A and B are shown apart, each in its own frame.
Chain A
């Protein structure tokens, strides 16, 4: 339970911190897509015997970078390239899962998360990713803010704006990998988007939104964990529902238009 609690707090903090950018940049869908697209990495991890979260990291990063590269090179919109890559990778993962004779993992655990079964290695991986993403957010903050607000102005200012955009996609892929362990492939988007959207309704400045989202996400993750424990539910749906209830409460008494 202690490991599950640590894992939940990491998810509750990290997903909304990065999610704040995703929500305000209309990139929420890519979080969902990345969660589905890392399935082949997770399955490969089980097949070769390394921790699935470790195996999911390079897959997530590769897909995140491919989304941008495909949309730039093919001249198609990013949501179209996300749609193509996400469906292809998820299908590949399902085929690998179906054809593997060695894997004894329940697909439902992958889809809905199993934070109570998180291993010490899973916690170490999550901690390592958390440190990397916090360092990334700190380093790239000014450029991310610039590129998120005025993409053209930022690109003209420096090629660093492009690098910051790629770094953001990598960070998104990393937090998705942490989030999958708790909320599962299907519901990790809720931890990315809902606390950030709730914070958007509560506070004015972007940095305040990030901080408030992290607090709300942590609250939702811990409450969801305890609800799932006492009512014998999957943690992912419980966390999602708690985050959604908080959003609905705030939305009812909102001072700003919803995102």
Chain B
């Protein structure tokens, strides 16, 4: 996957300017930046939810219509009032394979079962989504992406409201997806959780401040670009 000079405007405001980076297959990438840095905008542009003013998003085989791209939205974008079970949500991943008229068959149910096993939630299959913890909900959404057979996963603020142990469980699942050659992009505010877990970090603040391994990108200059003078206090020689 690659972005070439992507510029996105939201409500007349330039949210992203000339964003360029490459993500090879089999990469777990963290996307960081302050509030309003354009992390969600970037994901929306990659997902085709926002028009790209200039530049190009190359998804190669993970195009939207092939079902190759899966999007896990922020918590507040989901309608929790709708009482759906864990099984229902993972089955949603099969929608693009079902088309309009086919009902889920034995194969779809087997795939859903395998995906739920993969994210460690088969025992919770009949639970309502509202009965799960934040970390478990995120894993259900990852299970849905697996059921969709997506090769690119976009997770927006996936660590938000998720405790450390649950974050660890989620990262383990994401690393296993990375090991299969999938691309996983995860937007987060938690900078300390990236080293040793993520392969690449994209530092964003309306533009790309830095892109590289997590133990190298957090230089004083990059932190200042992202967070202003306060950011410099948290870094020494590229490490937090």
A residues at B contact (CB < 8 Å): 24-26, 75, 139-140, 142-143, 145-146, 148-160, 200, 204-206, 209, 259
Q: Name the one of B49, B85, B91, B96 contacting A205, with C-beta atoms under 8 angstroms.
A: B85
B13 at the interface (CB under 8 A from A): no
Residue of A nearest to B141 (CB): A153
- Give 1 or 0 for each of B41-85: 1 = CB within 8 Å of chain A CB: 000000111000000000000001101011111000111011111
Q: Is the CB of A159 within 8 A of B65?
A: yes
Contact call A145/B83, Cβ cutoff below 8 A: no
B89 within 8 A of A: yes
For this complex, 23 residue pairs linking A to B, each with C-beta atoms less than 8 Å apart, are A24-B82, A24-B83, A140-B100, A142-B92, A142-B98, A142-B104, A145-B82, A146-B92, A148-B82, A150-B79, A152-B73, A154-B92, A155-B47, A156-B47, A157-B70, A157-B71, A159-B64, A159-B65, A200-B83, A204-B83, A205-B85, A206-B83, A209-B83
Nearest-CB distance from B102 to chain A (Å)?
9
Chain B interface, >50% SS class: mixed
Name the A residues within 8 Å of B96 (CB-CB). 157-158, 160
B73, A139: Cβ atoms closer than 8 Å: no
Chain B contacts for A139, CB-based, 8 A: 100-101
A146 engages B83 (CB within 8 Å): no
Measured in the bound complex, the distance between the Cα atoms of B98 and A128 in whole Å is 27
With the chains together, A24 CA to B130 CA distance in Å?
14
Please indicate the chain B residues that have their CB under 8 angstroms from the CB of A206 in the complex. 82-84, 88
B67 touches A157 (CB 8 A): yes
B101 surroundings in chain A (CB, below 8 A):
139
* Number of cross-chain contacts by CB at 8 Å: 101
A209 contacts which chain B residues (CB < 8 A)?
83
Q: Mark B76-120, 1 if CB is under 8 A from A, else 0.
A: 011101111100110111111010110010000000000000000
| Size bin of chain B's contact surface | 35 or more
- Tell me the smallest distance from the CB of B112 to a CB of chain A, in Å: 12
How many angstroms from the CA of A129 to the CA of B86 in the assembled complex?
33
Residues of A within 8 A of B47 (CB): 152, 155-156
Q: Which of chain A's residues has its CB closest to B156's CB?
A: A152
A157 proximity list for chain B (CB < 8 A): 64, 67, 70-71, 92-93, 95-96, 148
Q: How far is B144's CA from A221's CA once the two chains are assembled, in angstroms? A: 40
Q: Are A149 and B95 in contact (CB under 8 A)?
A: no
Contacting pair B67 A158 (CB below 8 A): yes
Query: Which of B64, B84, B98, B144 gathers the greatest number of chain A CB atoms within 10 Å?
Result: B84
- Give the nearest-CB partner of B89 in chain A: A149
Q: Which residues of A contact B128 (CB under 8 A)?
A: 204-205
A51 to chain B, nearest CB (A): 31
**How far, in whole Å, are A113 and B82 apart by their CA atoms in the complex?**
31
Given known pairs A150-B78, A152-B49, A156-B49, the reply for A143 and B95 (CB within 8 Å) is yes
State how many angstroms separate the Cβ of A254 from the closest Cβ of chain B. Answer: 14
Is A156 a contact of B48 with CB atoms below 8 Å? yes
Q: Which residue of B lies closest to A157 (CB)?
A: B96
Chain A residues in 8 Å Cβ range of B71: 152-153, 156-157
Q: Does A149 contact B67, Cβ atoms closer than 8 Å?
A: no
- Contact between A145 and B70, CB atoms less than 8 A apart: no
B33 to chain A, nearest CB (A): 20
Q: How far is the CA of A152 from the CA of B88 in the complex (A)?
A: 17
- Residues of B close to A153: CB separation below 8 A: 70-73, 92, 141, 144
